A = this chain, B = another copy of it.
Amino acid sequence: MTISLRMKQAPALAAVLALVAAGAAQAQGSKEAEAAIKYRQSVYTVIYNNFGPLGAMASGKAPFDAAIFKRNAARVAFMSSIAPDTFPEVSKTGNTKAKPEIWANKAEFDKLMKDFQDKSGALASAAQKATSVDEVKAAFGATGAACKACHDKFKAD
């Protein structure tokens, strides 16, 4: 009698264990997502902090500093090579402004990302030898436009 009761309880116990395991897997999943989102936002924070001063110089709000411009432009270009790695599928859900369209329209997203890399690379090249803001304005504008094109399409407000 006791034994048969235990045997009847076995499926229920298995179901409970399955739920516990699923819950743990989900918690693991969101922890992984959280870490991936944190990494992505960190990469963009580094980009933002280096691109901002370039904008101030390009718009004339800050005096042109060739050394800083060159340094920051090189950093933005380098960070653009990390950026694509920060959009793993797992990071689709969570506290993020990255739209799900990124993963649904991967080819288009990749194209815009490539454009960001190309334009920031050209900006870094132009900054290498620039002695006045006029020599980098066009490349800065093109990079800003590349940022905007991707944000408009794939980043929530």
| Chain A residues within CB distance 8 Å of chain B | 38-39, 41-43, 45-46, 49, 75, 78, 82
Q: A75-B82, A78-B78, A82-B75 are in contact. Are A38 and B45 (CB under 8 A)?
A: yes
CA distance A75 to B78 in the complex (A): 9
15 intermolecular pairs with C-beta atoms under 8 Å apart: A38-B45, A39-B45, A39-B46, A39-B49, A41-B42, A42-B42, A42-B43, A42-B45, A42-B46, A42-B49, A43-B46, A46-B46, A46-B82, A75-B82, A78-B78
| In the A-B complex, the 3 residue pairs with the closest CB atoms | A42-B42, A42-B45, A39-B49
Closest to A79 in B: B46
Return A122 CB to nearest CB of chain B, in Å.
19
Return A47 CB to nearest CB of chain B, in Å.
9
Contacts of A75 in B (CB 8 A): 82
CA distance A41 to B42 in the complex (A): 8
Contacts of A39 in B (CB 8 A): 45-46, 49
Contacts of A49 in B (CB 8 A): 39, 42
CA distance A23 to B21 in the complex (A): 52
CA distance A75 to B46 in the complex (A): 13
Return A43 CB to nearest CB of chain B, in Å.
6
Contacts of A41 in B (CB 8 A): 42
